[in-house]
Structures are given as structure tokens and as C-alpha cells.
Amino acid sequence: MNIIVGLGNPGAKYKYSRHNIGFQVVDKFALQVFGNNLKWKKKFQAHILQGKFQGQDLILIKPQTFMNLSGSSVRDIMAYFHIAPEQLLVIYDDFHLPLGKIRIRKRGSSGGHNGIESIINTLRTEAVSYTHLRAHETVLDLVCRLLLEKKKNTQRHQEKAYT
């Protein structure tokens, strides 16, 4: 099972702000993969959508705690579903990048981003996959590639364990 967290701030006031690109990416991905009949649940101070993607269980999350407090919501969901940090992908805006650029990291510091800092501090690990965005991208292609890479890496580790 994988979790994709889109960071943003709740409320109409923030809906189209650059900080809400994480919410926007998760929303667009959900529409492209699961169609128009989405049933987001409100649980763990977040909007949660569960489904299957490429044969794997997938949970999409939009924390409703405001970005700076996202870690508590993410932690509670991960504990409930028994998710390891390596199965977590966080999508958020990074103003340090030029407009139109994406950076993908498997781990690292928050780089001064308060939402990521909250997740790192709450989970007590930097072993989280981060996707930094500065503009709308081909969301489906990006997420497909990232999830396939995770699946391949997991399979390689399992193969090494058996040989």
C-alpha cells in the first residue's frame, strides 16, 4: 500500500494559492485515475480517498490541519493503516525552484518548508519521498513513474533477501 499526501491549506481562501499545489495535484490525479464519482472521507483531520492503482492499494490524503501542522494527520493515518515512511510520497510547492521545475528526493531535510518539517518531526524520520513542484505537471505520468519505481525497488530488495 502506498500513500500520496498533497500538502496545502484548507478553505476557499487558499484554494488556488501556490502553496496548495499539493492539493491540486492529488485532486487532478484522483480524477484521472478514479473518475468523477469520488467519495473523499473526512478522517484523521484529513480528506482521504482509497482505491486501487496498477493493482496496488493507494491512499490519497489532503491534510486539513493547515500545512504547518500536517505531520499529526499524516502520522495518524500511517499508524492506522500500518504504513512505513518509505511508502509515503509527499507533494508540495517549493519556492526555491524555478517555475515549471520538479525535484524528486527519496529523503532529506525540510529545506525550510514548514509542512515537510512537521512531517519529519512527527514521524521522526527523513525517509520520506518528497516531490517538489513549481507548476502543474502531467500529474498522472509523474505519479505512475514514482509508484512504479517504488514497486521495482521493493521487488529488488525482496529478490536480494531470497538469494
19 has catalytic annotation: yes
Residue 163, pLDDT score: 44
Give the span between the Cα atoms of 112 and 109, in whole angstroms. Answer: 8
DSSP secondary structure letters along 5-23: EE----SGGGTTSGGGHHH
In three-state secondary structure terms, 67 is helix
Q: Contact, 6 vs 60, CB < 8 A?
A: yes
pTM (2 decimals)? Answer: 0.76
> Per-residue pLDDT tens for 7-33?
999 999 988 887 788 898 889 889 888
* Domains of the chain and CATH, by start: 2-162 (3.40.50.1470)
Distance CA(40)–CA(138), nearest Å, equals 22
Q: Where are the alpha helices (DSSP H) in 59-138?
A: 70-81, 114-123
Lowest-confidence segment of 83-87, 129-133, 136-140 by average pLDDT: 136-140
Q: Which residue has the higher pLDDT, 23 or 109?
A: 23
Instruction: Band the pLDDT of 65: cuts 50, 70, 90.
Output: very high
Among candidate residues 19, 47, 113, 132, the one labeled active-site is: 19
> Rounded CA gap, 131 and 152, in Å?
18
